A and B are shown apart, each in its own frame.
Chain A
Amino acid sequence: MPRKKASPAPRKGFIKTIVEVEGRTETRVVEIPAFEPTPWGPDTALETVGTRAVRVDAGEKVTGQAKYTADIARPGMLHAIILRSWVARGTLVSVDVDAARKIRGVIDVIGPGDAPAKTRLFPRKVTYAGQPIAAVCAESLHAVTAGIRALRAKIETAPFAATFEAATAPDAPLVRSKGNVAEGSPVVNARGNLARGLARADVVIEREYRTPVQLHSAIEPHGAVAEWQGDQLVVWESTQGIFRTREQLAEGLELPQSRVRVIKQYMGGGFGAKNGAGPHTFVAAIFARRTGRPVRCVNSRKAEQSDSGNRPATTQRVTIGAKRNGTLTAISLSADIPLGVGGWEGGPGQLYHELYACPNVRTEETFAYVNASAMQAFRAPGYAEGAFALEGAINALAAKLGMDPLALRRRNYAKTDPRKKRPWSGNALLECYEQAAARFGWDTRDSRRGPAASRAQVRRGFGMAAQIWPTGGGPPAYAHVRINADASIDLLTGTQDLGTGARTILSQVVADAMGARLSDVHTVIGDTGSLPYTGNSWGSMTTPSVAPAARMAAEDARRMLLDAAAPMLGVPLGKLETRNSTVCVRGTDRSMTFAEVTKELGDVMIIGRGTRGPNPLDVSVATFGAQFAEVEVDTRTGVVRVVRIVAAHDAGRILNPTLAESQLEGGIIQGLGYGMFEERVLDPATGLQLNPDLHDYRIPTIADTPVIDAFCVGQADAAANHTGARGLAEPPIIPTAPAIAAAVADAIGAELHEIPLTPWRVLAAAGEV
């Protein structure tokens, strides 16, 4: 009888590793896993990973059974609404609650002084329009709406600064007591010597670009349901980070984290705006504590569009120097970024250091606080903004040099990471260029240029842009795999599925790692009460962070299963393999199904544990891509129609091509919105938002959707992590707007320096107005 293999050694200790989150580099302590599975390289044959498995939760979604936060109804539940400021800056003098309290069904009202200090809710100082100033809860939606209408608040208005220019003017009103320019600004990053690079250039171009404030506009508004169950606060929240939400709730309400449980099963999109506890979360929790009843608080659309995060605007002044043959000698950026009243410094600069092999690069970014709602990460924060300007300038340079924009980019391809000066874990950008160009018909585009004879005023144009996005993911992320008595398999991990398909791809990974049928694997996510920690689903990190942990847990469970099966089959461990939920003796037809093994085990439960190991320190991990756009421009009206987008991206191993294509299409359509329609408009006179809705703030409809040919190239990236997969969700939004702008420029023979490409901007660029 084979000797039982020792169970995995206890963890070896802790080390520091570097993780890149949405362009920010963070050093984290991680534990070294007890073992690291052998990497799934390009040649590893996998059964389920890489197939077009159907989304595991699609059935619930098409039948209306999937329960989103606002669908949670608890017995005796109250409804809450937040009253928000209607001025951009001032002092909240009073909130008169008497009339509201008299409304039938109104149960409670809270305002300044009623929320625990650490929630920072309802300050007297009003610093932006849309800021929460009070809240009402009532028996029904009807009553709470009446209650909010009856609430009387008085705000003494004060001068405000809602733009970068206003906030950085000499006598600007103070948005923050410490000053309007963010600490550490300007943020300067440089390599080489810019002046020398410009001196060496044969050609220099200078441009200024502007990008708008873009709103996440998830169709599901932010919302939370809070209920005290015994001494535990249970919160259902549409969040990209259940553990971060728990941490913030515990901190805000001064509770131990173990007394807070955050649940998220389904959410209606996040895109970066749902990364933690918001005012609605705290309001629901505070009312629940005060009333002893469950409380639901869901944003109105107006609140959603005016105070739930945004991609900040930028002004980017770009200078590029190049040799006559197109070799870049210098790139410089000076950028102004108004963040709103808060947020983090996710600027456009980093992309400038990464996308091209240029020896001399200098970026200078000034972040300012302004009297407007705070920014939050929005799909590829910084990079989408940066790409519009950098790629616009590269296209302008190509025109000036008389070079094909694609040839110019190929010439400046970065073979290694030019910022960190180390190899890429994998980089198929050249393949992206090649395959997308071929499918687009880039080389033969001139033959398709002519307008239809019947529409002489319509001109056709073609453009392209490229993309990079750091997507290595990283620790910590934990997963448990347990094999139930009937051999069904549970993957337990505290991550979340935003609509990306995380549930599905994690099940696929576990199925392959265990040698199990996909239908035997059930992935349980989204509950801090019972699941091991993983981080937020941001930065395209979920796949490269959690999939390796899930795989390791599954392999750990598989090893234990084989340990148990070997004596049952009377063969040494080394002779066993698993496939189709069966343990097979290699070279024979002897086998036991997983269920036969677990039946013998009785109630012994196999529990495998997995952790995400440290990141490789000697390579850079990024996802790459190129997009090509074809547009038609009506030169009389300035109306642009995007006809076709061809997109090729390299994200390493693709765990599920269908889900990957859905991500690509989604990113491209949001990028199209960014380039074509989307722009938050603030009234300069009042600082109020003029389009806090989905009508005047226009996102793409199905009628705006071009033909999209989006696909993945490249191969498994075993150097990135042992599943070979990198992140994919954010990258596709990055090059769409600049590719469209390039195509419009191509059509009208004039550059465009500001998005969205509204008809009047197009006409103005063409010199028609």
Chain B
Amino acid sequence: MQPPMRLTVNGRAAEVSPEPGERLLTTVTERLHLTGTKFGCGHGECGACSVLVDGRLTYACLALTEACDGAAVTTVEGLATGETLAPLQRAFIAHDAAQCGYCTPGQLIAATRLLERNANPTENEIKVGMSGNLCRCGTYPKIITAIQAVARGEFAAPAR
């Protein structure tokens, strides 16, 4: 057992004692019970496990928890502010960008990062920025529409 280490997850301090070699995905879902982040492949192929680590888009299935000591981690559960959903979340709802919804947390995290880097992406920039996140249900066209709508400021004002 490793000595406990500190993470800040969605703004809250957390102490965890990961197994050697444990991945951040396991830590977040099994230890911290934040199950929004999904397992799809465990090998950096699908993006279902996408989280932000100190603001960087990261496949949590590849990131070693030990290497994240002291880091700030954002998961899908951290996107809303209290009851108020983030613009991207509202846009995904309004444009039906989630079918089964399994890839959706990862898509939202990737889209969040994309818009942070580039508030006004072209369609092609959206495609490049989002191409690390697979969706087997085929929500891609709706994801593009949702991101474009947020970039245009359409979901800036909270609906509730």
Let me know if B22 and A142 touch, CB within 8 A.
yes
Let me know if A219 and B37 touch, CB within 8 A.
no
Query: Out of B33, B40, B89, which one reaches A220, CB within 8 Å?
Result: B40
| Interface flag for B148 (CB, 8 Å) | no
Number of residues on chain B facing chain A (CB within 8 A): 57
| Interface flag for B98 (CB, 8 Å) | yes
Q: Which residues in A have their C-beta under 8 angstroms from that of B48?
A: 219-220
A665-B136 Cα distance, complex, nearest whole Å: 11
Given contacts A220-B40, A665-B138, contact A58 B96 (CB under 8 A): yes
Closest B residue to A707 by CB, please name it.
B141
Let me know if B30 and A219 touch, CB within 8 A.
no
A70-B22 Cα distance, complex, nearest whole Å: 18
Within the complex, what minimum Cβ distance (angstroms) separates A307 from chain B? 15
| Interface flag for A260 (CB, 8 Å) | no
A514-B58 Cα distance, complex, nearest whole Å: 48
Q: Which residues in B have their C-beta under 8 angstroms from that of A61?
A: 98, 101, 104
Of the candidate stretches A470-478, A634-642, A666-674, the one touching chain B is A666-674
Q: Which residues in B have their C-beta under 8 angstroms from that of A73?
A: 30, 33, 35
Of the candidate stretches A155-163, A281-289, A517-525, A696-704, the one touching chain B is A696-704
| Interface flag for A438 (CB, 8 Å) | no
Of the candidate stretches A241-249, A264-272, A486-494, the one touching chain B is A264-272
A198-B126 Cα distance, complex, nearest whole Å: 53
| Interface flag for B99 (CB, 8 Å) | yes
A668-B144 Cα distance, complex, nearest whole Å: 16
Let me know if B93 and A70 touch, CB within 8 A.
no
Closest B residue to A55 by CB, please name it.
B96
Let me know if A55 and B137 touch, CB within 8 A.
no
CB proximity to B under 8 Å, residues A679-728: 693-695, 699-703, 705, 708
Given contacts A141-B26, A665-B138, contact A298 B99 (CB under 8 A): no
Closest A residue to B20 by CB, please name it.
A142
Let me know if A499 and B43 touch, CB within 8 A.
no
Query: Out of A71, A218, A668, A695, which one reaches B43, CB within 8 Å?
Result: A695
| Interface flag for B152 (CB, 8 Å) | no
Let me know if A219 and B102 touch, CB within 8 A.
yes
Closest A residue to B124 by CB, please name it.
A703
What 1/0 mask marks residues of chain A from 125 to 160 whose CB sits below 8 Å from any chain B CB?
000000000000000111000000000000000000
Query: Out of A59, A65, A269, which one reaches B93, CB within 8 Å?
Result: A59
| Interface flag for B5 (CB, 8 Å) | no
Let me know if B76 and A63 touch, CB within 8 A.
yes
A59-B36 Cα distance, complex, nearest whole Å: 12
Closest A residue to B100 by CB, please name it.
A499
A140-B76 Cα distance, complex, nearest whole Å: 24
CB proximity to A under 8 Å, residues B77-91: 77, 79-80, 85, 89
Q: Which residues in B have their C-beta under 8 angstroms from that of A64?
A: 34-37, 75-77, 105
- Tally A-B pairs: CB < 8 A: 177
| Interface flag for B156 (CB, 8 Å) | no
A446-B123 Cα distance, complex, nearest whole Å: 27
| Interface flag for A510 (CB, 8 Å) | no
Query: Out of B76, B136, B142, which one reaches A670, CB within 8 Å?
Result: B136
| Interface flag for A769 (CB, 8 Å) | no
Within the complex, what minimum Cβ distance (angstroms) separates B42 from chain A? 6
Query: Out of A140, A268, A662, A667, which one reaches B142, CB within 8 Å?
Result: A662
Let me know if B45 and A301 touch, CB within 8 A.
yes
Interface hub of B29, B36, B130, B143 (most chain A Cβ within 10 A):
B36
A703-B43 Cα distance, complex, nearest whole Å: 20
| Interface flag for B60 (CB, 8 Å) | no
| Interface flag for A67 (CB, 8 Å) | yes
| Interface flag for B56 (CB, 8 Å) | no
Query: Out of B33, B77, B137, which one reaches A63, CB within 8 Å?
Result: B77
Let me know if B19 and A142 touch, CB within 8 A.
yes
| Interface flag for B108 (CB, 8 Å) | yes
Let me know if A662 and B134 touch, CB within 8 A.
no
Let me know if A693 and B80 touch, CB within 8 A.
no
Q: Which residues in A have their C-beta under 8 angstroms from that of B34?
A: 64
A189-B34 Cα distance, complex, nearest whole Å: 54
Within the complex, what minimum Cβ distance (angstroms) separates A310 from chain B? 14
Given contacts A62-B108, A63-B36, A665-B142, contact A699 B96 (CB under 8 A): no
Let me know if B130 and A702 touch, CB within 8 A.
yes
CB proximity to A under 8 Å, residues B131-154: 131, 133-144
Let me know if A702 and B98 touch, CB within 8 A.
no
Within the complex, what minimum Cβ distance (angstroms) separates A220 from chain B? 4
A66-B92 Cα distance, complex, nearest whole Å: 15
Q: What are 13 A-B interface contacts by the 8 Å CB criterion?
A: A62-B76, A62-B98, A64-B35, A140-B30, A218-B100, A219-B102, A266-B101, A269-B100, A301-B46, A666-B99, A667-B138, A693-B43, A703-B131
Q: Which residues of A contact B (CB under 8 A)?
A: 54-55, 57-68, 70-71, 73, 140-142, 216-221, 266-269, 271, 298, 300-301, 498-501, 658-659, 661-662, 665-670, 693-695, 699-703, 705, 708
20 further contact pairs, Cβ within 8 A, besides A63-B77, A220-B38, A220-B40: A62-B89, A62-B98, A71-B35, A140-B19, A140-B30, A142-B26, A219-B48, A266-B101, A268-B103, A269-B136, A301-B45, A499-B99, A499-B101, A662-B139, A665-B142, A666-B137, A667-B138, A694-B45, A699-B134, A702-B126
